[in-house]
């Protein structure tokens, strides 16, 4: 009955085996001869580790040191059908021989023959979590390392001296494999065993779905039909690709490549460009690494598709919506070894699903504004676990880092803004030369990524500036190119998207195309960054124009870029209204040095990501 119950419970439990790759690999190597240590309360869970190891390497052999009393013989009989052989004996006490010496000789012989020998250092009668000398003697004489194991699962604790774990079926389980210890002392082994045991128990607590996890998943499932309709609407508007719509539901083709697979997710164009230097560095450092890159937008997918390794070591998929069934399909198909999210892409259901499958999730270039932090805190009862489940966060600076820590993230680094590592924006240099000939020697003021309500202010400032510079040409680049037709009609200006160009009399030009920001920055005498002078604001990337040596101004509403504004205070000019902007346009500018803006954030992130993959 014990055999049947343990088999049913342990095989129906969803187990995750954690620890470094090197430590886990030791448990699947036949003929190594290694000592395994676990507390006595976890003895009933040991077969689960055996099932996992035998599935990978059928030749491994496991022996378990068990006392030779009636209870020990009962346990040995229960586990013997699985090929786990008991070695009977325990440490002698009060001069009474309990077969310890004979068991030691058998264990040494089995180690020499390459078997694993599992021992509970505090068994068979305790005291609980106190290391007895037998395991230390075995390690010293055999000169074999001891691997500490922590094991836990959904279970009840029996009222025995050690609180023996009694597993329950259809639950979650965790095995944490510690680093090998060669001939450790008593205290070193005790501390190591307690550490892995606590980690395993914490993993099970976090893997179990809380009420809020179930609520979030239930809401996602209820919204699935509405999300399907929304996808069809987006398809009609040209914001989805018809042959790839199924990817949003976790379906679609593609096969997981062999070897290590890192999943990188970036929402759209800005985040994808931000992640590009990191992607390149990771591929260079690990020639065997494959990357699955997901985006939420078609424009982001286009950027990924232009990578030189696309179709070989880099593949792309659209990220599924946060619906349990949809995202479950995605994870089942791709089984990534680790996940990297860029900036502020945080979805509680997705992170919970990764955590339950022991997929480490890290956030790079972590961005969390005051407003966003307040919103997350208000929803803490629903999303509180999410931040604690992140393996680590690389925040852009101290303010973002403080927000992540306040929300429960355990490991937070302040590595700086990843956008500092981005290469200069690309440009069609033949087109640049042609437009320079069209414009001639006119001064060019570029207003980039403008939002509704800002174009009026920018053009009013440009009108004032033309009193000092009559031939000033203003190029308006709306954040959303679809607004180009409406802006051109309202202000009576030519549009680039329909082939119109500014003549000598035109004072402005609407640049309503995608992917040409680098071209217009190179035409600029000076530029202004939108989403910073009207409305809610938030700002846009100041590194892009400054990296090209373009004098740059912005409004005061730069909440999303506060760290960058502090860093760039010597190069970035802040204007408050129409008058200050018009005055800045016409005054002499100091050209920033692009070299000063370079800071290698990637060099700190890549090693840490690769180290996380190896854990």
pLDDT for the residue numbered 37: 93
**Are both 188 and 299 inside the same structural domain?**
no
pLDDT at 280: 93
- The mean pLDDT of 482-490, rounded to a whole number, is 93
Per-residue confidence at 261, pLDDT binned at 50, 70, 90?
very high
Spot the catalytic one: 271, 343, 544, 563: 271
DSSP labels, 193-253: HHHHHHHHHHHHHHHSPPHHHHHHHHHHHHHHHHHHHHHHHHHHTTSS-GGGGGGGGT-S-
- Cis geometry, peptide bond prior to residue 124 (ω within 30 degrees of 0): yes
**Same domain for 321 and 346?**
yes
What gap in Å lies between CA 489 and CA 481, rounded to an integer? 14
Co-location of 177 and 33 in the same domain: yes
Shared-domain flag, residues 517 and 401 = no
Over residues 548-574, the mean pLDDT reads 88
Confidence of residue 396 (pLDDT cuts 50, 70, 90): confident
Tell me, what CATH number does 509's domain have? 3.40.50.2000
Are residues 459 and 433 in contact, defined by beta-carbon separation less than 8 angstroms?
no
From first CA to last CA, the distance across the chain in angstroms is 37
Rounded Cα–Cα distance for residues 492 and 525 (Å): 23
- Secondary structure class of 129 (helix, strand, coil): coil
Helix (H, G, I), strand (E, B) or coil at 160: coil
Any domain includes 219: no
Is residue 491 in some structural domain? yes
Note the pLDDT of residue 29.
86
Task: Quote the pLDDT of residue 85.
Answer: 82
Domain boundary among 207, 242, 266: 207
* Annotation marks residue 414 as catalytic: no
In this structure, the answer to whether residues 74 and 189 fall within a common structural domain is yes
Average pLDDT for 483-505: 92
- Residue 421 domain-assigned (yes or no): no
User: Model confidence over 266-278: pLDDT tens digits?
Assistant: 988 888 988 999 9
Share of the chain above pLDDT 90, in %: 48
Condensed to tens digits (0 to 9), the pLDDT of residues 443-478 reads 999 999 999 999 999 999 999 999 999 999 999 999
In a domain, residue 545? The reply is: yes
Give domain status of residue 218, yes or no: no
Same domain? 175 vs 296: no
Indicate if the pLDDT at residue 92 is higher than 60.
Answer: no
Mean predicted lDDT score pLDDT of the chain: 88
Same structural domain, 338 and 438: no
pLDDT class for 21, splitting at 50, 70, 90?
confident
205: confidence class by pLDDT, cuts 50, 70, 90: confident
Same domain, yes or no: 412 and 433: no
How many distinct structural domains can be found in the chain?
3
């Amino acid at each position: 009955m014990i055999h049947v119950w343990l088999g049913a419970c342990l095989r129906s439990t969803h187990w995750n085996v954690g620890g470094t790759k090197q430590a886990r690999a030791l448990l699947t190597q036949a003929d190594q001869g290694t000592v395994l240590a676990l507390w006595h309360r976890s003895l009933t869970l040991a077969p689960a580790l055996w099932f996992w190891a035998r599935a990978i390497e059928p030749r491994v052999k496991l022996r378990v040191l068990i006392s030779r009393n009636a209870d020990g013989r009962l346990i040995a009989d229960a586990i013997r059908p699985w090929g786990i052989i008991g070695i009977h004996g325990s440490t002698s006490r009060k001069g009474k021989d309990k077969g310890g010496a004979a068991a030691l000789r058998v264990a040494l012989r089995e180690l020499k023959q390459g078997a694993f020998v599992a021992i509970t250092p505090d068994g068979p009668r305790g005291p609980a979590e106190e290391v007895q000398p037998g395991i230390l003697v075995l390690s010293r004489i055999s000169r074999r390392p001891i691997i500490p194991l922590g094991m836990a699962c959904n279970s009840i604790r029996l009222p025995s001296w050690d609180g023996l774990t009694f597993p329950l079926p259809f639950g979650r389980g965790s095995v944490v494999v510690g680093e090998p210890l060669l001939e450790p002392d008593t205290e070193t082994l005790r501390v190591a065993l307690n550490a892995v045991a606590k980690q395993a128990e914490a993993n099970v607590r976090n893997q179990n779905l809380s009420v809020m996890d179930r609520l979030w998943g239930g809401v996602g499932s209820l919204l699935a039909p509405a999300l399907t309709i929304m996808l069809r609407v987006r398809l009609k508007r040209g914001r989805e690709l018809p042959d790839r719509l199924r990817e949003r539901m976790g379906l679609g083709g593609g096969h997981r490549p062999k070897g290590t697979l890192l999943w990188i997710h970036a929402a759209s164009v800005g985040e994808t460009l931000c992640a590009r230097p990191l992607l390149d560095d990771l591929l260079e450092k690990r020639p065997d690494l494959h990357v699955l890159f997901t985006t939420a937008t078609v424009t982001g997918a286009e950027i990924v598709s232009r990578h030189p390794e696309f179709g070989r070591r880099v593949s792309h998929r659209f990220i599924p919506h946060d619906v349990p069934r949809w995202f479950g399909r995605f994870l089942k198909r791709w089984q990534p070894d680790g996940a990297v999210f860029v900036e502020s892409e945080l979805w509680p259901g997705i992170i919970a699903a990764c955590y339950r499958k022991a997929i480490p999730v890290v956030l790079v270039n972590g961005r969390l504004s005051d407003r966003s932090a307040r919103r997350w805190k208000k929803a803490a009862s629903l999303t509180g676990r999410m931040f604690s489940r992140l393996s680590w966060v690389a925040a852009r600076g101290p303010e973002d880092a403080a927000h992540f820590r306040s929300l429960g993230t355990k490991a937070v680094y302040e590595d700086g803004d990843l956008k500092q590592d981005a290469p200069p924006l690309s440009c069609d240099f033949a087109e640049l030369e042609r437009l320079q000939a069209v414009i001639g020697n006119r001064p060019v003021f570029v207003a980039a990524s403008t939002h509704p309500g800002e174009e009026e202010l920018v053009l009013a400032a440009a009108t004032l500036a033309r009193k000092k510079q009559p031939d000033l040409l203003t190029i308006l680049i709306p954040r959303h190119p679809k607004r180009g037709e409406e802006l051109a009609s309202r202000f009576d200006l030519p549009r680039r998207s329909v082939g119109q160009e500014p003549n000598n009399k035109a004072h402005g030009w609407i640049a309503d195309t995608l992917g040409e920001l680098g071209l217009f920055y190179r035409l600029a005498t000076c530029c202004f960054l939108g989403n910073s002078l009207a409305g809610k604001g938030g700002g846009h990337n100041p590194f892009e124009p400054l990296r090209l040596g373009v004098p740059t101004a912005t409004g005061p509403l730069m909440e999303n870029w506060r760290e960058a504004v502090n860093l760039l205070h010597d190069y970035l000019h802040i204007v408050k209204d129409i008058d200050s902007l018009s005055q800045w346009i016409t005054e002499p500018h100091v050209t920033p040095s692009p070299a000063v803006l370079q800071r290698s954030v990637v060099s700190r992130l890549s090693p840490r990501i690769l180290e996380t993959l190896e854990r």
